[in-house]
Amino acid sequence: MHINSSTWFIPKIEKKKLKELSKRIDRPGLIHFFIYFSSLISFGYLSYFFWGSILFYFFFFIYSTIYTFAISNLHETIHRTAFKTRWINEFFLYISSFQLHSEPVGFRWSHTFHHSNTLQTEGEYDHEIEVSRPTDLLKFFLKFIPLSDIFFIHQSSFVGTIKSSLGIMSPAIKISAPKDQQKKIISNARIIIVIWAIIILISIYFNNLWPIIFYFLPTFVGRPLHFAVNVTQHLAAKIDTKDHRLSTHTIILNPILSFYYWHMEYHTEHHMFPMVPSYNLKKLRNEIKDSLPIPFYGLFDFYKKVLPSLIKLAFNLNGYYKVKLPYDQSL
């Protein structure tokens, strides 16, 4: 059962205004990547400079955290909303995917499917449901600890890329990507593996672990903050509904987190109108806010309210977080 997005609840907005908000330009994306890579390189240098000192761990953790937010860079370029100029968008798409050891073409198809079938479990299953139902509480809380992803490496992009290179497609790709795209997925995955080999060989040849430390370790060390932010998108939300207000959350974040997260805290708005670039999502919310639930104000507010429902979902599949809609409609 493929769910047509036109059957989902869509708030009213003037076509002219939506067209204006959907307009893409290059400048915000160029500024974003300049600041992103400048901060990444700066903290990478500080990590190198303070090697052997306790400050190394501090700076490397910040470097790894910034590095891991490449997931948000990848997401925005997957949507082709980071830049107006297509080749610039695709260039940064591949840079981000190589950073994350993740093949981008398959992800673009599976993520498009996620938007059409958000939190659907009947028929065509949404494989981007990040937290299982019933909730695996041990796995969930472990994700907040650096290096804990090593315990789940069988579910990592590393293993996914190796499988793709062998022509073994994940369930998410099988259900979403046309078969004529699989050759491209396989070749991209093999290129990533070649990059791994080159970095390892460089480290061996020069008897220097820095290339391995700076390329392979960050996604394990720096994952907790990105997980804490990213998992809020659909955490403990209602499944099998055609209303993004019930299946997706919006949170107001501080400006620094919002920047590195590409403003995806406005996630309900993003799911309703995925063609709108992230830098216009706040403006979009102002246009449709009368149709939306009250947002969460920060991560503490979110977890304080939603965590009890998540724990309930470990024992009761009807324990999802109940959203209060405008006009006192609670679902």
- Report whether pLDDT(299) > 60: yes
The helix/strand/coil state of 282 is: helix
Domain boundary among 75, 100, 125: 100
Within a domain: residue 14?
no
Q: Which domain holds residue 307?
A: 223-326
Mean pLDDT of 52-62: 97
- The pLDDT value recorded for residue 328 is 45
What are 102's strand-pairing partners?
A: none
Percentage of the chain surpassing pLDDT 90?
87
Mean pLDDT of 258-270: 97
Within a domain: residue 20?
no
Averaged pLDDT score across all residues of the chain: 93
Q: How far apart are CA 200 and CA 211, in angstroms?
A: 8
Within a domain: residue 74?
yes
Q: Tens of pLDDT along 121-133?
A: 887 788 888 888 8
Q: Are strands 324-325 and 329-330 parallel, antiparallel or unpaired?
A: antiparallel
- The pLDDT value recorded for residue 127 is 85
Q: How far apart are CA 105 and CA 108, in angstroms?
A: 5
- The pLDDT value recorded for residue 5 is 46
Mark whether 206 and 111 lie in a shared domain.
Answer: yes
- Report whether pLDDT(8) > 90: no
Domain boundary among 221, 256, 276: 221
- Report whether pLDDT(145) > 50: yes
CB 223 within 8 A of CB 146: yes
Q: Which residues of 293-323 are buried (b: 16+ CB within 10 A; e: fewer)?
A: bebbeebeebeeebeebbebbbeeeebbbeb
Domain boundary among 221, 243, 269: 221
Mark whether 166 and 108 lie in a shared domain.
Answer: yes
- The pLDDT value recorded for residue 124 is 75
pTM for the predicted model, two decimal places: 0.93
- C-alpha Rg value of the chain to the nearest Å: 20
Structure tokens at 47: 């990590």
SS3 content of the chain, % helix, strand, coil (to 5): 65, 5, 35
Mark whether 108 and 214 lie in a shared domain.
Answer: yes
Structure tokens at 250: 């919006």
- Report whether pLDDT(3) > 60: no
Mean pLDDT of 144-162: 93
Mark whether 110 and 216 lie in a shared domain.
Answer: yes
Within a domain: residue 11?
no
Structure tokens at 33: 């990547």
Number of domains in the chain: 3
Within a domain: residue 18?
no
